Structure 1
Amino acid sequence: MDPRAQDVLLCDLCETDPLQYLCEHCDINLCTDCASKHLSDSSKKHKIVPYHLHRKFTPKYSKCLKHADKDCEMYCESCHIPVCSTCISSGKHKGHDISDILEKLGSKKQRIQKDLEELEKKIYPRYTEISSAVQTEKAEVQTNYGKLAITADQQGEVLHREVTAIVNKRKADIVETKTKHLSILDKQADEITHRMTEINQVILEMKNILDTNDISLTSTYKSRNDEFNKLPPTIKVTLPSLSTPTINTETLNEMFGLLTSLSVTTVEPLLAEPRLTAAIDTGYSGLRNVSCLSEDQVWTCGDSETMKLLNLQSKLLTSIQTKSGNTPIDIAVTRDGDLLYTNPINKIVNLIKNKQIQTVIRLQGWRPRRVCCTAGNDLLVTMISDDRKQSKVVRYSGSTETQSIQFDDQGRPLYSSDPNPKYISENRNLDICVTNASEVVVVNQSGKLRFRYTGHPSNTKQSFNPAGITTDSQSHILTADCYNDRIHILDQDGQFLRYIHCDLERPLGLCVDIRDNLFVAEFYTAKVKKIQYL
């Protein structure tokens, strides 16, 4: 028998399998199978708990540092140290909260057990996921860099073929030019050879006349020296040259294409459990929206003509009333820190700069709903027609309309005619995200539909009717599921990632600050909740 088997504690019923549970009411140790059978006995009351949480043990007390013969059987909550009875009786801990060391040990073990379960069931699995993702990415890196190297080789082969073709053409031109050059020289050589033959013939004739003393030949002789003194012209052919161009390395690199620089982006993981870090009382009877001015200051609007700037301690820093006295439907902070608000009744969008209100957009036939400021400092405005039959998104540069987004590629409306909620936000990839009745509609910068998100197929109290929407530095899309009291987090391609709960009640407006803290406007409680989720 394996001696280690003697150390294994066995089930009291079957006496074969290791014990896993304890019935506190029956005081019996049980394995997994026997625990199920034990619970089937309805004649008695049972309470099954994991054995390791309640197993009996012999405490090993630590010795007191000041009284070596004493065990520390108590714990001073004020000094945060174990103490013995002599320490207590000495009066040094008079007025301090003293607890039993075993009770303290029990509470500590419960905390350790809780931390252990969190580490094993939540934290460590997330590290496993991240590690797996890194290994997958490493494999993809190897593959993709291999593809880049192959592409470089292919580019080189293409250019090499072109260079070879050019070199062969140059060599053919050289052979053709050489042939022409030699032909000219051959023609000149033939003419000279012909003249030399004539001269040799004349020389022979003259010698014959001199040798024969023939009067007839001598009298008919005519000199050709003048003719032969006129030497044939010399033909000078300039040898062609092949110019050597200066190679421009930059131009050559451009011909091959340039390798973009390595871009490293830190992706912040989502917290296992988002946590509430602040709650701001706004004082409205109903809160509509929130927009961050800074990490600790937010603009708010509600069921009132007054817009309030508050800090995290709910202190009112500034308040501004609308020019018309009407309730603003939406607010947004510009890149310059100024405040925008929409007034559907008067069909205008106003800008508050240095506490002065000025109208930047005035509509005809349409009423503005929600507004946001883009990375390029444009304005995106959702609006509905006066007859409530059409909705669209319009981009403005200052007061000038530069883009209208209303239909998809098939000419169908992108957005419903329902005026609510139509909240809008621009993502980091310049996508335009709009909450639309029972869905989130996302189009790219040019207005082409990318996707529609209609909610996650999990159990819900109410159907998915998204309200506020915002995006963060990781290109996450966050939208308020108002009637189900939670926030949906999506990636930039519309894939559901997780929910944020944090005891939310009717979340409506959303925004994030520069550190990706989420601010949630609760309609009925009129509170702004600050939540850390990354």
Structure 2
Amino acid sequence: MSEPSDEQAAMQHYLVCGTEDCQKNGQFYCNACHQPLCEQCRDKHQKSPNTKNHEIVLYRHRKHQLPVELCQYHPTRNKELFCRECSIPICSKCSTMKEHKGHDIDDLEEIYADKYAVWQGEFSKIQKYFLPTTNSLKSDIEEDVTEIKKIMESIRTSMKAEAKTLKNLVDEVTSESIENIHTMEKSLLKMLKSQETTYDDYIAYLWKMSDEFQEYLSITNKKLLFTKTLRIQPIPETTKPVPPVFTVGRFSKNDISELLGKVNVPNTKPEKRKIQPMVAESAHMKSTEKQLEQSKEKSDMKPTLSLSSSVTKVREYRVPGVDYVYHVSADKSGRLWASDIIGNLVQTDLQGNLLQKIQTSGGYGYHTATQDGDLIYTDRNKEVIYRIRQDRKITELKKTGDWRPISIHSSRINGDILVGMYKDEEAKVTRYSKSGKEIQNIQRDNQGQELYRYPYYITENINGDICTSDFHKHSVVVVNKSGEHRFSYIGQQSGLFSYGICTDVLGHILVCDSYSKSVHLLDQDGGFLSVILSSQQGIKEPRGVCVDEENNLYVGQYCTNTLRVYKYLR
């Protein structure tokens, strides 16, 4: 069977059947021949005497072909077998040597395929169970943080209110005591005033008596001889006042604490957070993802999404308020945000009616819809990231300092914000939390080489890979969640002038190529699958791509504000 030419590969729109001269969709795969098959060729394959015993599965469940490794002892042969006793891969000729005589020899490709399936199953568990469950637990913690803050604020408010009440009572009691002191003082002063009057009267009496004595003592007065001696009245007795005594209150800080109450942590054992178990995990542990899918198919269950054999245009409409469509973001409300490079950013409904318009400094992939239904966009000239809430209120989320933000993406996995930025001759990708806290910077690979030059567009794949479209490097640069370089896609024989980029629910990467004026479809590991859109579908200058929650593919173009919508999954 001859391989398709470069021209044929560049124009194909789906995975082509591997049978010679067959150009139909290769949705099946022969694990023995290691080639894709269409439905008709699969039937022929199963009926042919030479191939009727071959294992044929859906393409996505294919056995990955054993990587070629030459035998060091027999350089013309590949290592295709595995010696169980020696635990080493060997070639067929090695298996006949005395060193391996009588040993259990297995097919290395079968072992590789089984191992690959197990690892793929483990990876699937991470994506489908561990990551969502852990993110759910993290969300619970965030809710607990909010609840704890609310409770503590309530306790602080109660303590302040109780202290204010006690202070008011202290003021009230003090006022009553002071008033009582005033009354006591008034009574004592009145008593002393009365005593003072008594002594004033007695002094007046003494002066009067003194005058009389003086008169009797006069020499010329003979009356003294015949008058009875005058008697002086005794001094009136009075009493000294008894002043009140202030007894100092006996209280301590602990007494006040008792009065005000205390904050105590209940002696209760903390309740463990509930971790949802994996559904049918025991069965999953005993079978690979392929076996599980095959059992579903045998039960006539509804199949999962897969690539369609053709691309169908659903609709198209003009986007008002922009000169052309360089970037598209679809939000949960079924509405769209679209922009051109000169700073016009508009929101429309699915009929193309203008809902709102924002003016910014322009650029390429500079806006993204969040899981909460907000929109986040960058202003590279102001070096600021903004958030537009559903109530249309615009708030400043983050200043990026000397770095100019040019592309942005809100993670569907955890809500993190990925931002492509540049400064002078440098470029990087920064990860922020939803609140704008800086988490990670990605700039160089393991050899210290610059990963980026000008990341026009950025997105995230279902496995956490960060995918950037770097026009100046003419490539798609993909790193894993930790920032380690995984691969770079540089296009087919004509190279790549990359623009808009997005991913879908199957992990495909879709990227616009301005050189071939088409949209390329890649698998999760950067393998070229097809040219999914080209001039045959009416695409002339693709710039922006986006896949919404209904798996519709939106394509914006240069020199027109018409947005086209396609179906390519079924």
Q: What TM-score, normalized by structure 1, do the two folds share?
A: 0.51
Structure 2 CA distance for aligned equivalents of residues 494 and 341 of structure 1:
28
Runs of 5+ unmatched residues, structure 2 = 1-21, 27-36, 44-54, 65-108, 119-280, 294-302
Secondary structure, aligned partner of 2:347: strand
Structure 2 CA distance for aligned equivalents of residues 143 and 383 of structure 1:
46
Structure 2 CA distance for aligned equivalents of residues 146 and 531 of structure 1:
35
Structure 2 CA distance for partners of 1:503 and 1:410, relative to 1, 3 Å:
same
Structure 2 CA distance for aligned equivalents of residues 509 and 289 of structure 1:
4
Structure 2 CA distance for partners of 1:288 and 1:356, relative to 1, 3 Å:
same
Secondary structure, aligned partner of 1:337: coil
Secondary structure, aligned partner of 1:525: coil
Q: How many residues align?
A: 297
Secondary structure, aligned partner of 2:310: coil
Match of 1:342 in 2: 378
Deviation at 1:146, TM superposition (A): 11
Specify the code of the residue in structure 1 equivalent to 2:522.
L
Deviations 1:33-81 (A, max 9, x none): xxxxxxxxxxxxxxxxxxxxxxxxxxxxxxxxxxxxxxxxxxxxxxxxx
Deviation at 1:517, TM superposition (A): 1.5
Match of 2:69 in 1: none
Match of 1:127 in 2: 39
Structure 1 CA distance for aligned equivalents of residues 440 and 41 of structure 2:
42
Q: What TM-score, normalized by structure 2, do the two folds share?
A: 0.48
Match of 1:525 in 2: 560
Secondary structure, aligned partner of 1:359: strand
Deviation at 1:492, TM superposition (A): 0.4
Match of 2:352 in 1: 314
Q: What CA RMSD, in Å, does the superposition of the two structures yield over aligned residues?
A: 3.2
Deviation at 1:310, TM superposition (A): 1.9
Specify the code of the residue in structure 1 equivalent to 2:466.
I
Give the 5 Å matches for 1:160-309: 260-261=284-285, 263=289, 268-283=305-320, 284-294=322-332, 296-303=334-341, 305-309=343-347
Deviations 1:390-418 (A, max 9, x none): 010000012111000001111111112xx
Deviation at 1:464, TM superposition (A): 1.3
Give the 5 Å matches for 1:37-48: none
Structure 2 CA distance for aligned equivalents of residues 147 and 499 of structure 1:
31
Deviation at 1:529, TM superposition (A): 1.1
Match of 2:394 in 1: 357
Deviation at 1:299, TM superposition (A): 1.0
Structure 1 CA distance for aligned equivalents of residues 58 and 561 of structure 2:
46
The answer to whether the 8 Å contact 1:328/1:341 transfers is no
Structure 2 CA distance for partners of 1:145 and 1:331, relative to 1, 3 Å:
closer
Structure 1 CA distance for aligned equivalents of residues 480 and 42 of structure 2:
29
**Structure with bigger RCO (C-alpha 8 Å, 6+ apart):** 2
Give the 5 Å matches for 1:436-451: 436=470, 437-451=473-487
Q: 1:488 aligns with which of 498, 512, 520?
A: 520
Structure 2 CA distance for partners of 1:497 and 1:401, relative to 1, 3 Å:
same
Specify the code of the residue in structure 1 equivalent to 2:345.
M
Runs of 5+ unmatched residues, structure 1 = 1-119, 152-256
Deviation at 1:321, TM superposition (A): 2.0
Secondary structure, aligned partner of 1:422: strand
Secondary structure, aligned partner of 1:505: coil
Structure 2 CA distance for aligned equivalents of residues 259 and 275 of structure 1:
38
1:377 and 2:415 aligned: yes
Secondary structure, aligned partner of 1:533: strand
1:476 and 2:508 aligned: yes
Identity %: 31
Q: 1:366 aligns with which of 399, 403, 410?
A: 403
The answer to whether the 8 Å contact 1:477/1:490 transfers is yes
Deviation at 1:258, TM superposition (A): 7.6
Structure 2 CA distance for partners of 1:339 and 1:494, relative to 1, 3 Å:
same
Specify the code of the residue in structure 1 equivalent to 2:38.
R
Structure 2 CA distance for aligned equivalents of residues 273 and 147 of structure 1:
32
Structure 1 CA distance for aligned equivalents of residues 63 and 345 of structure 2:
53
Structure 2 CA distance for aligned equivalents of residues 508 and 476 of structure 1:
18
Structure 2 CA distance for aligned equivalents of residues 414 and 139 of structure 1:
32
Secondary structure, aligned partner of 1:346: coil
The answer to whether the 8 Å contact 2:521/2:528 transfers is yes
Structure 2 CA distance for partners of 1:295 and 1:454, relative to 1, 3 Å:
farther
Secondary structure, aligned partner of 2:440: strand
Structure 2 CA distance for aligned equivalents of residues 135 and 444 of structure 1:
27
Match of 1:429 in 2: 463
Deviations 1:155-204 (A, max 9, x none): xxxxxxxxxxxxxxxxxxxxxxxxxxxxxxxxxxxxxxxxxxxxxxxxxx
Structure 1 CA distance for aligned equivalents of residues 521 and 507 of structure 2:
10
